[in-house]
Structure 1
Amino acid sequence: MRRPRHGNTHLNIVLLLYLVGFFDPSLVSSITVSTPAELHASKGDTVTMSCTFSSTSRPTSKMTVDWSYRPQSGGPPQTFFHFSSRSFPPNDGQFAGRIRWQGSPARGEASISLINATLNDNGTFTCSVRNPPDVHGSPTSHTVLTVTPKAPSIRFSDVAVLLAFILLPSAIITLILIGRMLCPKKQRSQSKAYRSPIEVTEGEEYGIHPPGDKDSEDEDEYYNIKKRPPMDEGYAESQC
């Protein structure tokens, strides 16, 4: 009884696999598509949905890219974007006018941009790439998009106006108070009246003077009173 030769058996298996791969390349060729698992954005943002792929075959005009969307509430996915030699963005529906092609098949890029994201865009986006004959492997990948309301922000102009309304009146009031403290108003005493230079004191009109010198003394006293500065003890001059 003859024993089977193990060396010949291994050689036959290798030859068989080679022939299968040569006549049916789909069994050995594969394509891999990758997308981020999650994306987060604020309402109104432009979201870039990255999609890259690697293929054992060079991309040709037969390569296609499809993007589909399934709402967060559930339901079947719906294709809204298609690429085949050129892009075909949606003309109606939820994403009409809001999708831009950002891909480059020669570099393994199949990305798109979603403009003006809304809360209704929350859901799962799927990127699917076909590059015949390399269509097997992992031709699809999923991304979950979460859009949240944008947090309110205070603009610099609003802050400047608010500060102007608060600080400017306060500064004016402070300056007025400081001015009153440093420069008090003139105060006039009401207890004493201003005495005119031509007024005479009581008894002066009836004073006794020598007959010969009456005229000269009256004249001298008049000029002395006229030259005397007015006395106003109740008048306070400001020091400012």
Structure 2
Amino acid sequence: MFYRMYRIWSLLLLGAFVVPGLRHVSGIDIYTPTEVEAVNGTNVKLTCTFSSSAPVSLRSITVAWNFRPMNSGSDESVFWYQEVPYPPNQGRFKGHAVWSGDIMRRDASITLHEVRPTFNGTYICQVRNSPDVHGSNGEIVLRVVNKVSLSEIGILAAAVGGACGVILIVLGIFVAVRFYRRKHMGNDIELQPHQWKDPTVW
């Protein structure tokens, strides 16, 4: 009986030391926009920032950007960073992908130059900071369009701006009309004949 109690208490004590240790294990957190829209032939920045529980240095960080086409084909390498940038030397992104990040600022962004419709798909940002190598990846869906579509915020801003413009025009017309009327009334008073009165006549 005493031996059983001893084993139970030993396991509880061991759990008390192990569990807190497991709670402190943390991975890299990656932050990216969910979706980005770009006009065909323009440049677009794919923003990817991260935070890590381990110290960040140029040597400890590796960044991998991969591309998954819309038709769910196999992933394709877009960019690699390890101490220095390694742009692609073949494939659809050759001459199109450039480094735009700053590792010491926790920024692993890249820019795509002269995007094409074949660039439509999902871009995956993977950051590892040895020994902190656990964590999910960031994913951005890029849509290449012929022209920029107005968002709901853009439409609302245009409506508010248009309404303010109309109010200013109406206010300007009102002020101009009042000024014209006052000026016209002043001219009429000046043109009215003054009656002469003999000061000797009471």
Quote the offset at 1:122 in angstroms: 0.5
- Following superposition of structure 1 onto structure 2, how do residues 1-240 of structure 1 map, counting pairs within 5 Å? 11-17=13-19, 28-60=25-57, 61-138=59-136, 140-150=137-147
2:87/2:98 contact within 8 Å kept: yes
Whole-angstrom CA distance in 2 between matches of 1:79 and 1:35: 18
Quote the offset at 1:13 in angstroms: 2.4
- Structure 1: where are the runs of 5+ without partners? 152-240
TM-score by length of 2: 0.63
Q: Which runs of 4+ in 1 moved over 2 A?
A: 1-18
1:33/1:129 contact within 8 Å kept: yes
1:39/1:144 contact within 8 Å kept: yes
Quote the offset at 1:4 in angstroms: 5.2
Quote the offset at 1:30 in angstroms: 1.1
RMSD: 2.6
Q: Tell me, what secondary structure is at the counterpart of 2:125?
A: strand
Quote the offset at 1:74 in angstroms: 2.2
Whole-angstrom CA distance in 2 between matches of 1:90 and 1:66: 11
Whole-angstrom CA distance in 1 between matches of 2:145 and 2:14: 61
Aligned equivalent of 1:228: none
Q: Give 1 or 2: higher helix fraction.
A: 2
Corresponding residue pairs, total: 145
What is the identity, as a one-letter code, of the residue corresponding to 1:121?
F
Whole-angstrom CA distance in 1 between matches of 2:25 and 2:101: 26
Quote the offset at 1:73 in angstroms: 2.1
What is the identity, as a one-letter code, of the residue corresponding to 2:39?
S
Quote the offset at 1:150 in angstroms: 3.1
What is the identity, as a one-letter code, of the residue corresponding to 2:43?
T
2:78/2:93 contact within 8 Å kept: yes
Aligned equivalent of 2:164: none
Question: What do the CA deviations read for 1:129-154 (whole angstroms, capped 9, x no partner)?
Answer: 1111100122x111110011137xxx
Question: Which of the two has higher C-alpha Rg?
Answer: 1
Q: Tell me, what secondary structure is at the counterpart of 1:137?
A: coil
Whole-angstrom CA distance in 1 between matches of 2:18 and 2:91: 52
1:119/1:149 contact within 8 Å kept: no
- Structure 2: where are the runs of 5+ without partners? 149-202
Seq. identity, %? 37
Q: Tell me, what secondary structure is at the counterpart of 1:96?
A: coil
1:55/1:131 contact within 8 Å kept: yes
Higher relative CO (CA 8 A, sep ≥ 6), structure 1 or 2? 2
Quote the offset at 1:8 in angstroms: 7.7
Whole-angstrom CA distance in 2 between matches of 1:137 and 1:68: 16
Whole-angstrom CA distance in 2 between matches of 1:124 and 1:16: 39
Quote the offset at 1:96 in angstroms: 1.1
What is the identity, as a one-letter code, of the residue corresponding to 2:27?
S
TM-score by length of 1: 0.54
